[in-house]
């Protein structure tokens, strides 16, 4: 096949909630952006590709470029579950329209963006949780194995513990508070209703209680304070592990990043630094590692290894 210089770079930040893309030229000038549905490899390869291509189509439209331009594009794809080699390789076998592509996880591109491609670590505290260290051209992850086994310090775990405390208060086992009464009222003081809800609840459903807990903690609700402090201790254990692995600085990211900061102990607070860029910036940096790549039928292997 005749070699073709890659003129464009595409950054993809695909997570469990949605997929964002940003298209630039080789100089980094933004040409277009797009947004589509979830892009989680663990939940479906075809659905992930569908979301990516929907968002890419929007970006091409904004840039007034034809779809054929993708053959001259190097894509940095940060996808949820992209750290699982088997899923990453299977996705690479699909009919991807890009001239070249580098596939990593959404957390890994977030780490690249946060430290502008340099060494550093992040701790994501959202619905789930995961720590990532980028050092010496490789990624090391901590956590990120899902609600059943992992997600320490996350919104989902905080929400689950909140509902459990409320249930215990309803049974008279634990003391009640304004927080537990609010949760109990949502289920009309019905234990069977709480059980039915909990049986089918997904992590995002549990995490919906997290903002309420932080709100009540500010009001010095004793149960809320206990739960938030426990969540902070869990986050500190993640930070401690990242530090032990060699992290000199950590960017705290995700929906719980700001609310949890006041509850972190001083030694851990001093470890934190502000992020220099977002996950899309990291995905574009990933694409830039192949700035001299030419068109290929194969997915270009990343120079950043797990």
Q: What is the pLDDT of residues 41-93, one digit of tens each?
A: 988 999 999 999 999 999 999 999 999 999 999 999 999 889 889 999 999 99
Q: What is the pTM of this model?
A: 0.84
Q: Do domains 1-116+276-306 and 155-269 have the same CATH topology?
A: yes
Quote the distance between the C-alpha of residue 264 and its chain's center: 21
Question: Is pLDDT at 16 greater than 70 in this prediction?
Answer: yes
Domain ranges of the chain: 1-116+276-306, 155-269
pLDDT tier for residue 15 given thresholds of 50, 70 and 90: confident
Residue 193 has phi, psi (to 5 degrees) of -65, -40
Residue 181, SS3 per DSSP: helix
Q: What is the pLDDT of residue 253?
A: 95
The CA distance from 79 to 77, in Å, is 6
How buried is 274 (Cβ within 10 angstroms: 0-12 exposed, 13-18 middle, 19+ buried)?
exposed
Query: 260 or 85: which carries more pLDDT confidence?
Result: 260
How much is the average pLDDT of 86-106? Answer: 94
**Tokens found for residue 261:** 């900061």
CATH architecture of 155-269: 2-Layer Sandwich (3.30)
Are the beta carbons of 2 and 294 closer than 8 angstroms? no
Q: What is the pLDDT of residue 4?
A: 55
Q: What is the pLDDT of residue 45?
A: 97
Q: What is the pLDDT of residue 261?
A: 97
Q: What is the pLDDT of residue 83?
A: 86
How much is the average pLDDT of 172-189? Answer: 98
Q: What is the pLDDT of residue 30?
A: 97
Element (H, E) at 59: helix 45-63
Task: Tell the CATH topology of 1-116+276-306.
Answer: Nucleotidyltransferase; domain 5 (3.30.420)
């Amino acid at each position: 096949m005749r070699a073709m210089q890659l003129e464009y770079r595409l950054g993809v930040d695909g997570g469990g909630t949605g997929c964002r893309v940003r298209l630039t030229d080789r100089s980094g000038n933004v040409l277009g952006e797009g947004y589509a549905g979830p892009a989680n490899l663990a939940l479906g390869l075809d659905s992930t590709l569908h979301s990516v291509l929907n968002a890419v189509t929007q970006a091409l439209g904004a840039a007034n470029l034809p779809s054929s331009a993708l053959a001259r594009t190097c894509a940095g794809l940060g996808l949820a579950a992209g750290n699982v080699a088997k899923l990453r390789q299977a996705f690479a076998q699909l009919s991807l329209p890009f001239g070249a592509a580098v596939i990593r996880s959404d957390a890994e591109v977030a780490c690249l963006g946060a430290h502008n491609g340099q060494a550093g670590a992040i701790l994501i505290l959202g619905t789930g949780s995961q720590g990532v260290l980028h050092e010496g051209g490789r990624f090391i992850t901590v956590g990120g194995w899902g609600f059943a086994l992992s997600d320490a310090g996350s919104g989902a775990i905080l929400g689950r513990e909140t509902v459990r405390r409320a249930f215990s208060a309803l049974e008279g086992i634990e003391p009640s508070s304004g927080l537990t009464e609010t949760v109990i009222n949502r289920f009309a003081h019905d234990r069977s209703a709480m059980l039915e809800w909990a049986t089918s609840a997904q992590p995002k459903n549990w995490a919906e209680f997290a903002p309420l807990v932080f709100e009540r903690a500010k009001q010095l609700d004793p149960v809320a304070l206990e739960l938030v402090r426990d969540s902070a201790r869990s986050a500190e254990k993640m930070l401690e592990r990242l530090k032990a692995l060699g992290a000199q600085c950590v960017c705290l990211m995700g929906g719980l990043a700001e609310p949890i900061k006041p509850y972190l102990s001083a030694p851990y607070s001093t470890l934190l630094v502000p992020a220099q860029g977002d996950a899309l910036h990291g995905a574009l940096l990933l694409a830039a590692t192949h700035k001299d790549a030419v068109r290929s039928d194969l997915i270009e292997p990343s120079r950043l290894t797990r």
